[in-house]
Structure 1
Amino acid sequence: MSIYYFAIVGATDNPIYETDIIPSSRSSLIDNSRRDDHKHLNQFIVHAALDVVEEVQWGTQAMYLKSVDRFNEQYVSAFVTANNVKFMLLHDQKSEDSIKNFFNDVYEVYIKVLMNPFYEKNAPITNPQFDNRVKLVARRFL
Structure 2
Amino acid sequence: MYLVIVGTRDNPLYELEVYTTQQKQQQQRDAQGEQKHLNQFIAHSALDIVDESMWGTKEMYLKVVDRFNDHHVSSYITPSGAKFMLVHDAQPGDVRSFFVDLHELYIKVLLNPFTEINGVITSQQFDTKVKGIARRYLSG
Give me the TM-score of the superposition, normalised by structure 1. 0.90
Of 114, 117, 134, 1:118 maps to 114
Alignment of 1:1-142 (within 5 A): 4-23=1-20, 25-26=21-22, 29-32=25-28, 34=30, 36-94=33-91, 98-142=94-138
> One-letter code of the match for 1:133?
K
Q: Percent identity?
A: 50
CA-CA distance at 1:71 after TM superposition = 0.3
List structure 1 segments (4+ residues) > 3 angstroms apart after TM superposition.
25-28, 30-33
CA-CA distance at 1:26 after TM superposition = 4.3
CA-CA distance at 1:22 after TM superposition = 1.6
> One-letter code of the match for 1:6?
L
Aligned length: 137
Gaps of 5+ in 2: none
Q: Cα RMSD between the aligned structures?
A: 1.6
Q: Distance in 1 between matches of 2:24 and 2:53?
A: 37
Gaps of 5+ in 1: none
Q: Distance in 1 between matches of 2:130 and 2:22?
A: 18
Give me the TM-score of the superposition, normalised by structure 2. 0.91
Q: Distance in 2 between matches of 1:82 and 1:109?
A: 14
CA-CA distance at 1:93 after TM superposition = 1.9
Over residues 93-118 of structure 1, what are the superposed CA-to-partner deviations in whole Å (9 max), with x where a residue is unaligned? Answer: 245x7000000011111010000000
Q: Distance in 2 between matches of 1:27 and 1:51?
A: 28
